């Protein structure tokens, strides 16, 4: 990198110092920072926890779903799935890469494409909890159909329209979803994956301001080839801020049938093969100015705000699939006998059954706790929704992998092949192919770690921002230092000596020991974050493995809290203590993972691997690849 590529001055509005970054990195960081929600007044359970304040009052008691609310969900779920279970064959969808149009039409009649559209605009107006109950059920049956519905409803036009649309836009577009219009969300491009700053699609305003002209390509747009409506992200002209150009990304509602839109290619994937997902091109597409969604330059913020609740569909879908896995291993583990015992009774099998059951319960707890918070509308759920996505997508992958392992060779065999030779057609092979995508879409695991680390560090970054940044005047640095010393003089000792030492957590009943652990460990985590910040200062963002471990600890603590609360609720609802036992099993496992993460924080392996990886990229270790048939080009 040359000096000219480095930007000499930082942006005073930025909490993060960008002055030493390359142009590409700085642009990425500025776009990411601008898309953040900024200071939010509403409480966040996990946000408080990262700052060393454990708030059981936010989690206990578990919010119940009222009977009336539940009935609203049941009234859709029961007839809809009675129909789907007899008319939708997920294996055929997978094989033919087609969800039958008759099924899509019938789903539209049920109102599936207007589930979250407010009732005053003709929609079903489902709460997030009921919507996620529906999505959980979809995912337990057919991954492709779940993704079709989710891409439309969770991230496609309905959600951002509800959050950011004008009255005129709502009146115009919402009723179309009740009639069955399917929508899509178009952000990704060939060069824009996790880094939207590199966006190449442009929307240039016409001279008279009546419309924008849209040009560019969008990749992997789920539902794109069949969408009647799309939310398209595009660059609008940059804004000058203190003599520097600031990238502006805006969001537009685009009609799929407009002139200039071309479906270039339908992509084919390892799983969810029934989805229509493609590379699409926009050539001089005329978008009326009134189709701008939200304000110009706020597109990415809109996308992230959409994802805060949209992302909750993934935990719901993962929970549905995990429940299906549990059902399969329960039946198979008890009947398949080898070496004189059912495979679920050998110790190796038992461990799998315990992990799958307890983890599935935890996934359900997190999904419905955060969904309920989303419905309340007065909680900041950015962190918890991302944690739910991270936790459920990672564990669902382990759940399906362990299910496949317990099924042995039959786990690897297609359901159609099993059926053809007269065996129970458990679709574990398809489920595994379908589950893998959850660790990639709507924020990869690595990006979730970065996003969560940024949020976890926010209170510290805000306080230390002026001290850490280069180019800040000395007077401001001194003022910041004074503020910092005063804050940490009280905060830091409180992370060692605090109420966690004597709080009994009677709200958790028999699970109080685990909640006490969460309370204590929240402070330990806050200290670890603080120590990491002191040690690495402005280079902390480069320590992705360390940050990832701290985030994983926070996520497990959140999962434990949600699970203990849910167990209390379920034990009472069912009049049975089994949920307490399930939560106990989960918490013991989670505590093991947490302690393991803490113990790895100070290891040297990461630094060594970093140096080693550089040599892999340089081609130094190419000799290890010897003896294979080359695929593709080598530069
Ligand atoms: C089936 C499917 C459906 C999709 N549906 C949609 C859709 O409807 N709409 C849409 O807009 N997009 C969609 N996508 C795109 C999806 O959101 C992207 O694949 C995802 O954002 C990741 O981008 P990428 O694949 O280009 O990976 P890249 O960004 O190229 O990343 C490659 C790897 O590097 C890691 N990485 C990247 N940056 C960093 C970093 N700073 N630090 C550490 N690691 C990093 C990533 O985590 C990943 O592991 C879909 C993709 C698929 C496969």
Return averaged pLDDT per consecutive 10 residues of the chain, 635 residues in all.
35 60 68 65 88 95 96 98 97 97 98 96 96 98 98 94 96 96 96 87 96 97 97 93 85 97 96 97 98 94 87 96 98 96 96 98 98 93 96 98 98 97 97 97 94 89 76 82 88 91 93 97 95 86 92 98 98 96 98 95 85 93 92 79
pLDDT value, residue 402: 98
- Cβ atoms within 10 Å of 165's Cβ, excluding its own: 19
Helices (H), strands (E): how many in the chain? 22, 10
pLDDT value, residue 195: 84
Nearest atom of ligand 1 to the alpha carbon of 184: 8
Q: Tell me, in angstroms, the distance from the centre of ligand 1 to residue 202's CA.
A: 20
Catalytic positions, written as ranges: 442
Question: Where exactly are the structural domains of the chain?
Answer: 19-60+446-608, 183-297, 311-443
CATH fold for domain 183-297: Butyryl-CoA Dehydrogenase, subunit A; domain 2 (2.40.110)
Pocket test for ligand 1, best of 220, 230, 546 (most atoms within 8 A of CB): 220
Q: Tell me, in angstroms, the distance from the centre of ligand 1 to residue 383's CA.
A: 20
Q: Which residues line ligand 1 (CB under 6 A)?
A: 151, 184-188, 193-194, 220-222, 269, 277, 437, 440-441, 444, 446-447, 450, 544
Per the structure block, which two tokens stand in for 420? Answer: 């053809």
pLDDT value, residue 327: 98
**Does the global pTM surpass 0.75?**
yes
Pocket test for ligand 1, best of 35, 187, 194 (most atoms within 8 A of CB): 194
8 Å CB contact between 266 and 214: no
Tell the residue nearest (CA) to atom 14 of ligand 1.
220
pLDDT value, residue 551: 97
pLDDT value, residue 242: 76
Q: Tell me, in angstroms, the distance from the centre of ligand 1 to residue 452's CA.
A: 17
Reported as half-sphere exposure (CB side, CA atoms, 13 A), residue 424 has a value of: 11
8 Å CB contact between 553 and 597: yes
pLDDT value, residue 132: 97
Tell the residue nearest (CA) to atom 28 of ligand 1.
193
Distance CA 210, CA 141 (A): 46
Angle (deg, nearest 10), helices 512-536 and 474-494? 150
3-state secondary structure (DSSP) of residue 59: coil
Q: Tell me, in angstroms, the distance from the centre of ligand 1 to residue 442's CA.
A: 8
What's the angle, vertex CA 92, arms to CA 222 and CA 99, rounded to 5?
A: 35
E strands of 195-312, at which residues? Answer: 202-205, 211-222, 229-241, 244-255, 261-266, 277-288, 292-293
- CATH number of the domain located at residue range(s) 311-443 in this protein: 1.20.140.10
E strands of 339-395, at which residues? Answer: 341-342
Task: Please list the residues that pair with 203 across neighbouring strands.
Answer: 214
Q: Pinpoint the alpha helices (H) of 179-312.
A: 299-310
Q: Tell me, in angstroms, the distance from the centre of ligand 1 to residue 449's CA.
A: 14
Distance CA 602, CA 359 (A): 28
């Amino acid at each position: 990198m040359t000096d000219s590529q480095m930007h000499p001055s930082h942006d005073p509005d930025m909490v993060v110092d960008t002055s030493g970054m390359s142009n590409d990195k700085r642009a990425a960081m500025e776009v990411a920072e601008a898309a953040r929600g900024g200071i939010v007044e509403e409480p966040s359970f996990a946000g408080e926890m990262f700052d060393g304040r454990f708030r059981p009052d936010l989690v206990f008691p578990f919010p119940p779903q009222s009977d009336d609310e539940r009935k609203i969900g049941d009234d859709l779920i029961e007839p809809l799935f009675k129909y789907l279970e007899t008319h939708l064959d997920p294996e055929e969808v997978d094989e033919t890469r087609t969800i039958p149009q008759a099924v899509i039409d019938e789903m539209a009649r049920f109102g599936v494409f207007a589930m979250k559209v407010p009732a005053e605009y003709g929609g079903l107006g489902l709460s997030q909890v009921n919507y996620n109950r529906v999505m959980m059920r979809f995912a337990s049956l057919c991954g492709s159909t779940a993704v079709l519905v989710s891409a439309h409803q969770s991230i496609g036009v309905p959600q951002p329209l509800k959050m950011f649309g004008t009255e005129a836009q709502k009146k115009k577009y919402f009723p179309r979803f009740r009639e069955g219009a399917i929508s899509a969300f178009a952000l990704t491009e060939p060069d824009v994956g996790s880094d939207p700053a590199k966006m190449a699609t442009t929307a240039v305003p016409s001279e008279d301001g009546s419309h924008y002209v849209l040009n560019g390509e969008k990749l992997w747009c789920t539902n794109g080839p069949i969408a009647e409506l799309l939310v398209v992200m595009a660059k609008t002209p940059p804004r000058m801020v203190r003599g520097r150009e600031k990238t502006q990304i805006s969001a537009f509602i685009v009609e799929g049938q407009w002139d200039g839109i071309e479906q270039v290619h339908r992509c084919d994937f390892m799983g969810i093969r029934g989805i229509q997902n493609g590379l699409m091109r926009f050539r001089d597409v005329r978008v009326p100015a009134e189709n701008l969604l939200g304000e110009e330059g706020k597109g990415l913020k809109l996308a992230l705000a959409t994802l805060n609740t949209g992302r909750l569909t993934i935990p719901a879908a993962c929970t549905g699939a995990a429940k299906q896995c549990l059902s399969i291993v329960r039946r198979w583990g008890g009947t398949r006998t080898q070496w004189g015992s059912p495979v679920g009774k050998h110790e190796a099998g038992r461990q799998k059954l315990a992990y799958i059951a307890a983890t599935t319960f935890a996934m359900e707890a997190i999904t419905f706790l955060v969904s309920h918070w989303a419905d309340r509308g007065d909680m900041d759920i950015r962190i918890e929704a991302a944690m739910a996505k991270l936790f459920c997508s990672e564990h669902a992958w382990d759940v399906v992998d362990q299910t496949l392992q317990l099924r042995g060779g039959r786990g690897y065999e297609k359901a159609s092949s099993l059926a053809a030779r007269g065996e129970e057609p458990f679709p574990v092979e398809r489920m595994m192919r379908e589950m893998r995508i959850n660790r990639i879409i709507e924020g990869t695991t690595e990006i979730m770690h970065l996003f969560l680390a940024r949020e976890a560090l926010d209170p510290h970054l805000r306080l230390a921002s002026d001290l850490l940044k280069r180019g800040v005047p000395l007077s401001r640095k001194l003022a910041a230092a004074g503020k910092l010393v005063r804050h940490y003089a009280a905060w830091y000792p409180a992370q060692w000596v605090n109420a966690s030492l004597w709080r009994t957590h009677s709200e958790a009943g028999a699970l109080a020991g685990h909640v006490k652990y969460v309370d204590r460990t929240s402070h330990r985590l806050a200290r670890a974050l603080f120590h990491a910040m002191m040690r690495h200062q402005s280079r902390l963002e480069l320590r992705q493995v360390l940050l990832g471990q701290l985030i994983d600890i926070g996520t497990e603590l959140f999962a434990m809290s949600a699970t203990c609360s849910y167990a209390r609720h379920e034990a009472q609802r069912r009049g049975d203590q089994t949920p307490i036992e399930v939560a106990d099993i989960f918490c013991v496992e989670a505590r093991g993972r947490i302690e393991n993460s803490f113990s790895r924080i100070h290891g040297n392996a990461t630094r060594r691997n970093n140096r080693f990886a550089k040599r892999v990229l340089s081609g130094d270790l190419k000799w290890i690849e010897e003896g294979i048939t080359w695929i593709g080009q080598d530069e």
